[in-house]
């Protein structure tokens, strides 16, 4: 155990010596300021080792965790979008059906209304016709009555006029000294009146 | 400014190598310009060709980068 | 070189110092296991990605919040890119490409934070990324198509006489792919950050300070654009290579 420790200590000491020597060398190198850091072959194993470690770690993480997750999220979103689109299509279909039903109802209501209107109109027409007929009959009756009365009035007027004319004629004839024959006077007056009326 | 003749030659060489990058610049400009004139003639086809544009530019530029590398090597590694 | 300029003009330009890999705890050598600023910023990047893609989507909301919609946006972008370019059978490699894209994008953006270290500005890092793409795409090509994958290099639409020449060119261009793929990204990052640093260095002179600050602001805006475009280009080229592997016949 002790020997192991001693060995380790020795190797560490050797290492530090070597490192110091190298550091001095590097310092001299830097002072000269020549040499591209990219072309310093001594650092290549270090870079390559850490690069490989990094890349393997990244590859593991990406292929096992990150990329499947992102792919899942994207396909989920695609699914959600397609689902939403289908739902929207369904809603649209429903809306279209509702619109059709509404239109149907509207048309029904309209035809019903038209029917009612027609029925009402017919009824009203009937009543109207009846009323008109009644009114016509009444008017006809009244007209007939009026005509009868007019005829009576005219008749009586004609008779009165004839009476007056006969009397006046008889008076005239007698006052002129003539012997008025009642029948002849009447005959003459009637003839005259008939001519005037005609 | 009394240096040795070797350094003089080195710097002249580096300067000459840098001219090579001008060639790459012309090449890249050519690629981009021709792409643009083509894209303006037919804009609908341009979007699909950007990858080709970048590949072409990369190839043209690579040669300039080579000359840059040679300049660096001359400057620092020789 | 820089020291001489310092002495001459009083300006200090250390545009490349921001890329130095340093151990996090104390000095010393950079071993392969040493926690360095690379480690720190890669951890920051990884945690940021996990925060965005895992914590952000924790709600699993149908109507996303801000973080979740950013996560879904990046998911959708990469998904669509693969589907458009590589085809449906490319979607099997979606997590892999998504990892690359998120890592590059987030580290480019994280590198733009003040005092940050840009991990993608290192050729070692982008080289590994590009080589990983190259090797995996080639393997996929041979596994899926067997020897038919070599049709990629044998251009049947060309006359028979020039096909061998084309084959050589195709093979070369195929093997140059990881080089240009990695250097494009790293080079863009180095260039942008170095230019910002150089402009910032000029701010030490009072006379040109306003101009240099304006230039830094402009470059910074441009770098935000570049940070995204380079990640996009890296990913899109990966998709193009994947398409070649899945459908090699032209």
Does residue A128 have a pLDDT over 90? yes
Per the rule left: phi > 0, alpha: psi between -120 and 50, beta: everything else, B3 is beta
Q: How far is CA B42 from the centre of its chain?
A: 28
Domain ranges of chain C: 14-246
Out of B3, B55, B65, the one facing C236 most closely (by C-beta) is B55
Decide if B58 and C187 are in contact by the 8 Å CB cutoff: no
The pLDDT of residue B4 is 84
* C5 pLDDT more than 60: no
- Residue pLDDT, tens place only, C113-137: 988 899 999 999 999 999 999 999 9
**In which band, very low, low, confident or very high, does the pLDDT at A196 lie, cut at 50, 70 and 90?**
low
Asked if C99 reaches chain A (Cβ–Cβ under 8 Å), the answer is: yes
- Asked if pLDDT for residue C214 goes beyond 90, the answer is yes
A109 domain residue, yes or no: yes
What's the mean pLDDT in C39-56? 92
Residue whose C-alpha is closest to residue C177's, from C245, C99, C101? C245
The pair phi, psi for residue B27, each rounded to 5°, is -60, -45
pLDDT, position A25: 43
Number of structural domains, chain A?
Answer: 1
Give the other-Cβ count within 10 Å of A42's Cβ. Answer: 12
Task: Give the pLDDT of residue A89.
Answer: 94
The predicted structure's pLDDT at residue A5: 46
Asked whether the beta carbons of C35 and C23 are under 8 A apart, the reply is: yes
Q: How far apart are CA C65 and CA B78, in angstroms?
A: 53
In a domain, A111, yes or no: yes
How far is the alpha carbon of B60 from chain C, nearest alpha carbon, in Å?
10
Residue-wise pLDDT for A14-24, tens only, equals: 544 444 444 44
The overall average pLDDT reported for chain C is: 88
Q: Are C152 and C141 in contact (CB under 8 A)?
A: yes
Least confident among A151-155, B74-78, C122-126:
B74-78
For the cut 90, the answer to whether the pLDDT of residue C43 exceeds it is yes
What pLDDT, on the 0 to 100 scale, is given for residue A7? 52
**How many percent of chain A have pLDDT more than 70?**
81
Q: Which of A50, A58, A61 sits opposite C39 (nearest CB)?
A: A50
- Residue C60 CA to residue C47 CA, distance in Å, equals 20
Q: Which residues of B touch A35 (CB under 8 A)?
A: 76-77
ipTM over the 0.90 cut-off: no
Residue A83 binned pLDDT confidence (cut-offs 50, 70, 90): very high
Chain A residue numbers with beta carbons less than 8 Å from the beta carbon of B73 are 36, 39
Is residue A7 situated within a structural domain? no
Contact A34 B73 (CB under 8 A): no
User: Please, what is the average pLDDT of chain A?
Assistant: 81
- Please give the full DSSP string across B16-50, using - where no structure is assigned: HHHHHHHHHHHHHHHHHHHHHHHHHH-HHHHGGGH
Per-residue pLDDT, B35: 94
Backbone CA torsion sign across C204, C210, C212, C217:
positive
- Higher-confidence residue of B48 and A3: namely B48
Chains with ≥3 Cβ pairs under 8 A against B?
Answer: A, C
The pLDDT value given to residue C22:
85
Domains in chain B (CATH in brackets) are 5-77 (1.20.20.10)
Cα maximum dimension of chain C: 67
Cα distances from C118 to residues A36, A129, A180, C46, C49, in angstroms, run 15, 109, 166, 13, 16
Query: For residues A102 and A96, what is the distance between their CA atoms, to the nearest angstrom?
Result: 10
Greater model confidence, A35 or C148:
C148
* Chain-chain contact of A55 with C57 (C-beta, under 8 angstroms): no
Residues 30-49 of A with CB under 8 A from B: 34-36, 39
Query: Which tokens in the block code for residue A128?
Result: 């109207």
- Cβ-Cβ contacts under 8 Å between B and C: the total is 41
Q: From chain C, pick out residues whose CB is under 8 angstroms from the CB of A73.
A: 57, 60-62, 64, 68, 72
**Per-residue pLDDT, C204:** 84
- With a cut of 70, say whether residue A177 has pLDDT above it: yes
Convert the pLDDT of each residue in B56-73 to its tens digit: 888 888 888 888 888 888
User: What domain range includes position A71?
Assistant: 44-156
CA distance A58 to C44: 12
Task: Confirm or reject contact between B77 and chain A (CB < 8 A).
Answer: yes
Percent of chain C surpassing pLDDT 90: 52
The answer on pLDDT for A11 being more than 80 is: no
**Chain C positions in Cβ-Cβ contact with residue A29 (cut-off 8 Å):** none
Q: How far is CA A30 from CA A35, B78, C20, in A?
A: 9, 15, 10
Q: Which residue of C has its CA nearest to B55?
A: C233
What residues in C contact A80, CB-CB < 8 Å? 62
Candidates C120, C122, C132; CA nearest to C229 is C120
């Amino acid at each position: 155990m002790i020997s192991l420790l001693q060995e380790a200590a020795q190797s560490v000491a050797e290492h530090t010596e070597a490192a110091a020597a190298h550091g001095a060398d590097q310092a001299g190198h830097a002072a000269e300021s020549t040499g591209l850091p990219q072309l310093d072959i001594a650092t290549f194993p270090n870079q390559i080792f850490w690069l490989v470690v990094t890349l393997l770690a990244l590859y593991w993480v990406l292929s096992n965790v990150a990329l499947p997750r992102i792919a899942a999220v994207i396909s989920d979103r695609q699914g959600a979008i397609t689902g939403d689109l289908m739902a929207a299509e369904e809603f649209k279909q429903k809306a279209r059906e509702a619109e059709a039903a509404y239109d149907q109802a509207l048309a029904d209501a309209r035809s019903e209304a038209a029917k009612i209107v027609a029925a009402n109109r017919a009824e009203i027409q009937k009543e109207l016709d009846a009323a008109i007929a009644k009114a016509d009959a009444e008017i006809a009756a009244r007209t007939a009555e009026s005509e009868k009365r007019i005829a009576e009035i005219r008749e009586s007027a004609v008779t009165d006029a004839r009476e007056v004319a006969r009397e006046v004629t008889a008076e005239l004839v007698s006052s002129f000294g003539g012997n008025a024959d009642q029948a002849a006077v009447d005959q003459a007056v009637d003839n005259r009146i008939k001519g005037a009326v005609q | 400014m009394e240096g040795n003749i070797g350094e003089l030659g080195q710097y002249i060489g580096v300067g000459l190598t840098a001219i090579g990058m001008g060639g790459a610049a012309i090449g890249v400009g050519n690629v981009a310009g021709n792409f643009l004139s083509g894209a303006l003639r037919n804009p609908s086809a341009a979007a699909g060709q950007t990858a080709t544009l970048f590949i072409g530019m990369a190839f043209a530029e690579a040669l300039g980068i080579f000359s840059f590398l040679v300049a660096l090597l001359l400057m620092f590694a020789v | 070189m820089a020291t001489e300029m310092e002495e001459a003009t009083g300006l200090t330009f250390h545009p490349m110092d921001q890329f130095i890999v340093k151990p996090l705890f104390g000095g010393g050598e950079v071993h392969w296991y040493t926690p360095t600023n690379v480690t720190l910023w890669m951890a920051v990047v990884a945690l940021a990605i996990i925060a965005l893609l895992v914590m952000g989507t924790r709600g699993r909301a149908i109507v996303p919040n801000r973080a979740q919609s950013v996560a879904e946006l990046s998911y959708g972008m990469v998904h669509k890119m693969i589907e458009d370019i590589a085809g449906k059978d490319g979607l099997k490699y979606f997590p892999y490409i998504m990892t690359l894209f998120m890592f590059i994008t987030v580290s480019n953006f994280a590198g733009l934070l003040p005092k940050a270290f840009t991990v993608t500005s290192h050729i070692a890092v982008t080289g590994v990324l590009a080589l990983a793409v190259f090797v995996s795409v080639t393997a996929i090509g041979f596994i899926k198509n067997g020897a038919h994958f070599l049709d990629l290099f044998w251009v049947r639409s060309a006359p028979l006489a020039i096909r061998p020449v084309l084959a050589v060119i195709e093979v070369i261009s195929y093997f140059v792919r990881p080089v240009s793929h990695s250097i494009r990204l790293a080079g863009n990052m180095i260039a942008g950050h170095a230019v910002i640093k150089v402009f910032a260095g000029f701010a030490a002179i009072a006379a040109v300070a306003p101009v240099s600050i304006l230039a830094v602001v402009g470059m910074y805006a441009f770098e935000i654009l570049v940070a995204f475009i380079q990640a996009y280009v890296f990913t899109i080229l990966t998709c193009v290579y994947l398409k070649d592997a899945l459908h090699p016949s032209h």
